[in-house]
Amino acid sequence: MPRPRAIAHLDLDCFYVQVEQRRLNLGQPPWTARDSPPAAVQQWDGLIAVNYAARAHGVKRGMRAAEASHLCPGIVLVHVETISEGAEEMMGNAADRAAPDRRTQKACLRRYRQASDEVLAVVQRSAARCEMASIDEAYIDLTDEATQLLGGSTDLSSIAATSACPSGTSLDLAADSHLLAAAHLVQQLRDEIFKETGFTVSAGIAETKLVAKLGSACHKPNRQTIVPNSGVLSFMASVQIKDLRGLGGKLGQKLLGALRLEPEAPSAELQKALTGGLSGWFHFRSFNVFLVNSHSGMLRHVAACCSRRLVRTSDPPGRLPLSIAYVEAETATKSELER
């Protein structure tokens, strides 16, 4: 029988805003504190990241900048960096600048990728197997490290006090010892990330990637959650289908449409509807525990560039030089980081 895994999902809290608050000296870390200056990052006219101080005023991701300013007059809105042809000017340093023109400029997220690489460097020093899921998320497999830690004189009860559990679940010190040991390592890692970068990280610890990811969202910001194996079924019963890995996009919409299920329905309804090979496919996509695949930050950067269509046939003639300038700027930045 294979030994149980210990998987952690790391999620940087409102990451883009943390990056901008550090860069512009907006308050002191932790920037996810409720008394931090309210701030948000916008791209064109919409907000793409909102800190917790601004959320307390009703500001939400996806909201228009004008509406956010109306709800929270003191909010600091920072536009993402933009690049124009020739990479002569990078914008987005202050809220009082004129809004960039999306017809002549292109959004550039390299500032956040550079900060992401800072965090990745800390994680890679501490975990043998690390998989970047996005610019602000990572999975780490701590099975070996947790097993080694359990070989010593580790006080599991004190470790349990540093982590939360989902509502309705509880830890068993014996059955969940590998998860507790992993939680101890994750707490150390989160402390190290904060010490070196000032960024706070939420985390979920479980036996699978799916459950770890869902767990990391339970007690945000800046906390970690252990989902005990005995509580997985009850925990998953409260999860909506739209939150399941692999079902948030167009594929999920088609699948749910065919099964006549609503995205807000509990995941148990999906389990009832799936049969045969489709059920096996979903299990592989969402529950498989053996897919923490180590790869370099370079692959993540390449994927990020290749996943976006830089120019369309319908774009005006000046768009192609702008896209070339964007790729040049991204490549130059990555080369500097790897020296």
Which residue segments constitute the domains of the chain, with CATH numbers given? 7-13+113-230 (3.30.70.270), 15-100 (3.40.1170.60), 241-275 (no CATH)
Chain-centre distance for alpha carbon 108: 18
Residue with tokens 């980081």: 337
Supply the pLDDT for residue 315.
Answer: 59
DSSP 104: T
Query: How many angstroms from the chain centroid is the CA of residue 204?
Result: 12
Q: DSSP 3-state assignment of 222?
A: coil
As a whole number of angstroms, the distance between CA 190 and CA 214 comes to 18
- Please, which residues have CB within 8 angstroms of residue 29's CB and are 6 or more apart in sequence? 22, 194, 198, 199, 200
Residue 262, exposed/middle/buried by CB under 10 A (0-12, 13-18, 19+)?
exposed
Query: What confidence score (pLDDT) does residue 256 get?
Result: 62
State both tokens at 145.
Answer: 């490290």
pLDDT of residue 129: 86
CA atoms within 13 A on the CB side of 210: 23
Strand order, beta sheet including 39-43: 46-50, 39-43, 76-79
Place of tokens 């501490």: 126
Query: Dihedral (C-alpha) 196, 198, 199, 200: value to the nearest 10 degrees?
Result: 100
Residues acting as catalytic residues = 137
pTM score, two decimals?
0.78
In tens digits, what is the pLDDT along the chain, a chain of 339 residues? Answer: 567 899 999 999 999 999 999 999 999 999 999 999 999 999 999 999 999 999 999 999 999 999 999 999 999 999 999 987 554 444 444 444 566 777 778 888 999 999 999 999 999 998 778 999 999 999 999 999 999 999 877 788 888 888 899 988 999 989 999 999 999 999 999 999 999 999 999 999 999 998 999 999 999 999 999 999 999 888 887 776 556 665 556 666 666 666 565 655 555 555 555 555 445 445 545 554 445 766 644 445 444 444 445 555 555 555 555 555 555 555 554 444 444
Structural contact between residues 41 and 80, judged by C-beta atoms closer than 8 angstroms: yes
Task: Give the integer Cα–Cα distance in Å for 124 and 138.
Answer: 11
Q: What is the pLDDT of residue 83?
A: 85
Query: 194: buried, middle or exposed (CB in 10 Å: 19+, 13-18, 0-12)?
Result: middle
Exposure of 75 by Cβ count < 10 A (0-12 exposed, 13-18 middle, 19+ buried)? buried
